[in-house]
Amino acid sequence: SMLVQEEMVMGIQDGRIVFFDNKDKLNALLKSFEMNKENFISLERNQFIVPGFIDSHAHAPQYTFMGSGGDLPLLPWLQKYTFPAETRIDTDKTFSRDVYEKCVRAFIGKVNMDINSPENYIETREESVKATHRFLEDILSRKNPLLTPCITPRFAVSCSNELMVDLAKIAKEKSLPIQTHISENRDEVKMIASMFPEAKNYTDVYDRAGLLNDTTILAHGVYLTDEELQVIAQRGSGISHCPNSNFSLKSGILDVRKVWEAGVKIGLGTDFAGGHSPTMLDAIRRGVTAANVLYFSQQPDHQATVDPITYKDIFKLATLGSAQVLGISDVVGNFEVGKQFDALLIDPDVKHSSLDVFSTDTREDIIQKFLFLGDDRNILKVFVNGSQVV
């Protein structure tokens, strides 16, 4: 899983990694890539680089109330906090500009909802489809390689089957990824069963509508059965594990190992404002806690319990796993030669951070300490497609 590489050199040309090799080959590599020694950055003291973290599921229009409104489970939480906040974004341009300027590059979707929604925050099926086309034209016309539009039926609770079928067609025609929520909360699962009596289960609702393919990102999936996971694996869809949200909204705990064993792609997400933090370091920590809670809560039933998954596994979900779920693992997610240089430069030694390194720490200890204790003070630089953006 996580690989700690020492004494390595990496070459980047036109945003891409062209070599990643042992330090003693540096001179030969510089020569063959016609590179200059002056352009090299060397990492000082305990500094290291990690692949950029990828948040595979978040709600930009919920950014405003993140960190508050944590008293309710999913369905009443949507009614009391989420829908009013999103309505304000929809109707107040100055407000929405302020919010969206704080949320950067991404796959972005226009949320669709045509049933079971508040009177002032609902569309007809026709309006929803029209608004989706307008949204797609707007995003695609910007020709920004860092922006990918994504088809976003909110979830089957708030979408008619007809609307989901329309959206699946648009996604297919325009080869666009799809994102939605699935099986996050027990009351939600019950509601789906009563709304769609003809479907075998929640997964089948999306599958019948044509929404499951190898670009579909399914958030949560806490209560998916083995049978459902099999179908999701067959369709090549992926799951976004959102542990902060699953704790905060009291939804449940996703069994990551079960998802792996079914052969389903899985990444990590913040799901703010269901989750109360926008940082992936937090998501990693909650992911570790979720794995540990699952481990001890399963003890009575499973005599020979396997070990809980580790921080290294969760780190991988936050990088390569999310890249796979988003269908971008050919360009980001790790430091394979040929991929974009998408990375964080970490300095564990900055003053006044929560992280203290001692001479007894190994390289791996230092990385683990960063994942558990680090924060943005330790993130010295951020690189996207080879360019330093922070």
Is residue 151 within 8 Å of residue 179, measured between CB atoms? yes
Asked if 274 is part of the footprint of ligand GUN (rule: CB under 6 A), the reply reads yes
Asked if 278 is part of the footprint of ligand GUN (rule: CB under 6 A), the reply reads no
The residue (of 74 and 89) whose beta carbon lies closer to ligand GUN is 74
**CA–CA separation, 165 and 172 (whole Å):** 11
Per CB under 6 A, the list member of 271, 313, 342, 347 interacting with ligand GUN is 271
**CA–CA separation, 115 and 159 (whole Å):** 6
DSSP string, 134-198: HHHHHHHHT--TTEEEEEEE--GGGS-HHHHHHHHHHHHHTT--EEEEES-SHHHHHHHHHH-TT
Q: Could you identify the residue written with the tokens 């996580």? A: 2
The residue (of 218 and 328) whose beta carbon lies closer to ligand GUN is 218
The residue (of 88 and 312) whose beta carbon lies closer to ligand GUN is 88
- The footprint of ligand GUN on residues 139-198 (CB under 6 A) is 154-155, 181, 184
Picked from Fe ion, ligand GUN, none, the partner binding residue 228 (CB below 5 to 8 A depending on kind) is none
Per CB under 6 A, the list member of 203, 237, 245, 279 interacting with ligand GUN is 245
The residue (of 232 and 345) whose beta carbon lies closer to ligand GUN is 232
Asked if 55 is part of the footprint of ligand GUN (rule: CB under 6 A), the reply reads no
Q: With CB under 6 A as the contact rule, which of the stretches 74-82, 170-178, 329-337, 342-350 interacts with ligand GUN?
A: 74-82
- The footprint of Fe ion on residues 212-231 (CB under 5 A) is 219
The residue (of 182 and 343) whose beta carbon lies closer to Fe ion is 182
Between CA 362 and CA 43, with CA 369 as vertex, the angle to 5 degrees is 65
Provide the minimum distance between the beta carbon of 152 and Fe ion in the complex, in angstroms, as a whole number.
Answer: 10
Q: Which two tokens stand for residue 2?
A: 């996580």
Among 174, 269, 274, 278, residue whose Cα is nearest residue 217: 269
Q: With CB under 5 A as the contact rule, which of the stretches 5-13, 67-75, 211-219, 334-342 interacts with Fe ion?
A: 211-219
The residue (of 196 and 372) whose beta carbon lies closer to ligand GUN is 196
Provide the minimum distance between the beta carbon of 145 and ligand GUN in the complex, in angstroms, as a whole number.
Answer: 27
The residue (of 51 and 61) whose beta carbon lies closer to Fe ion is 61
Query: How far is Cα of residue 244 from the mean position of the Cα atoms in its chain?
Result: 12
> Per-residue b/e over 99-130, b at no fewer than 16 CB within 10 Å?
beeeeeeebbbbbbbbbbbeeebebebeebbe
Q: How far is CA 170 from CA 124, 129, 132, in A?
A: 17, 9, 9
Q: Which two tokens stand for residue 312?
A: 């290294």
CA-based torsion, 388, 267, 253, 154: positive or negative: positive
Strands 387-388 and 379-384, by their bridges, are: antiparallel
Asked if 241 is part of the footprint of ligand GUN (rule: CB under 6 A), the reply reads no
Provide the minimum distance between the beta carbon of 304 and ligand GUN in the complex, in angstroms, as a whole number.
Answer: 34
**CA–CA separation, 359 and 349 (whole Å):** 12
Q: Which residue is nearest to Fe ion (CB)?
A: 271
Picked from Fe ion, ligand GUN, none, the partner binding residue 235 (CB below 5 to 8 A depending on kind) is none
- The footprint of ligand GUN on residues 120-139 (CB under 6 A) is none
Asked if 82 is part of the footprint of ligand GUN (rule: CB under 6 A), the reply reads yes
Asked if 271 is part of the footprint of Fe ion (rule: CB under 5 A), the reply reads yes
Between CA 85 and CA 66, with CA 267 as vertex, the angle to 5 degrees is 20
Among 140, 143, 141, residue whose Cα is nearest residue 151: 140
Is residue 239 within 8 Å of residue 210, measured between CB atoms? no
The residue (of 181 and 235) whose beta carbon lies closer to ligand GUN is 181
Provide the minimum distance between the beta carbon of 278 and ligand GUN in the complex, in angstroms, as a whole number.
Answer: 14
Residues binding ligand GUN (CB under 6 A): 59, 74, 78, 82, 154-155, 181, 184, 245, 271, 274
Residues binding Fe ion (CB under 5 A): 219, 271
